[in-house]
Structure 1
Amino acid sequence: MDFGLAFSYVFQDKDWLRKVGIVALISLIPILGQLVLIGWSLNVTKRVIDRHPEPLPDVDFGGDLGRGFSAFVIGFVYSLPITLFALVFGILDSIVAGQSSSDAVRTMMAILSLCFGLFVFIYGIAMAIVLPAAYGNYVAKGSLGAGFALGEVFGLVRANIGAYLIVLLGTFVAGLIAPLGTILCIIGAILTYAYSVAVMGHLYGQAYNAATQNKAVLAG
Structure 2
Amino acid sequence: MDFGRAFGFVFQDKDWLRKIIIPALVSLIPIIGQFVVLGWGLNVTRRVMAHDPEPLPDLDFGGDLARGFQAFVIGLVYALPIVLLSMFLGILGPLLGVDSYDVSEVAKAVYMLISVCTGLFSVVYGVILAVVLPAAYANFLAKGSLGAGLNFGEVFRLVRAAPGAYLLVLVGSFIVGLIAPLGVILCFVGVLATYVYGMAVMGHLYGQAYNQALENLGISATA
Q: TM-score range by the shorter chain?
A: over 0.9
Aligned to 1:45: 45
CA distances 1:121-153 after superposition (whole Å, capped 9, x unpaired): 111111111100000111111111110000000
1:70 and 2:66 aligned? no
CA distances 1:145-203 after superposition (whole Å, capped 9, x unpaired): 11000000000011111111100000110111111111011111111111011000000
Letter of the 1:86 partner, please give it.
S
The CA distance in 1 between the partners of 2:125 and 2:40, in whole Å, is: 27
The runs of 5 or more residues in structure 2 that have no matched partner are: none
Alpha-carbon offset, residue 39 of structure 1: 0.3
The CA distance in 2 between the partners of 1:91 and 1:111, in whole Å, is: 15
Aligned to 1:95: 95
Alpha-carbon offset, residue 105 of structure 1: 2.5
Letter of the 2:144 partner, please give it.
G
Alpha-carbon offset, residue 104 of structure 1: 2.4
Alpha-carbon offset, residue 91 of structure 1: 1.1
The CA distance in 2 between the partners of 1:87 and 1:103, in whole Å, is: 23
Aligned to 1:157: 159
Aligned to 2:58: 58
Q: Which runs of structure 1 show a deviation greater than 6 angstroms over 4 or more consecutive aligned residues?
A: none
Letter of the 2:203 partner, please give it.
G
1:13 and 2:16 aligned? no
Alpha-carbon offset, residue 215 of structure 1: 1.4
- Within 5 Å, which residues of 2 pair with 1:98-117? 100-117=102-119
Aligned to 2:149: 147
Aligned to 1:201: 203
Alpha-carbon offset, residue 103 of structure 1: 2.2
What secondary structure is seen at the aligned counterpart in 1 of 2:218? helix
CA distances 1:67-110 after superposition (whole Å, capped 9, x unpaired): 00001101111111111111112211111126644322322221
Number of positions where the alignment pairs a residue of Structure 1 with one of Structure 2: 217
The CA distance in 1 between the partners of 2:76 and 2:104, in whole Å, is: 37
- Comparing 85-94 with 34-43, greater Cα deviation is found at 85-94
The CA distance in 2 between the partners of 1:109 and 1:23, in whole Å, is: 44
| TM-score computed with the length of structure 1 as normaliser | 0.95
The CA distance in 2 between the partners of 1:26 and 1:199, in whole Å, is: 18
Identity %: 61
| TM-score computed with the length of structure 2 as normaliser | 0.94
Letter of the 2:217 partner, please give it.
K
CA distances 1:5-35 after superposition (whole Å, capped 9, x unpaired): 0000000000101111111111111111111
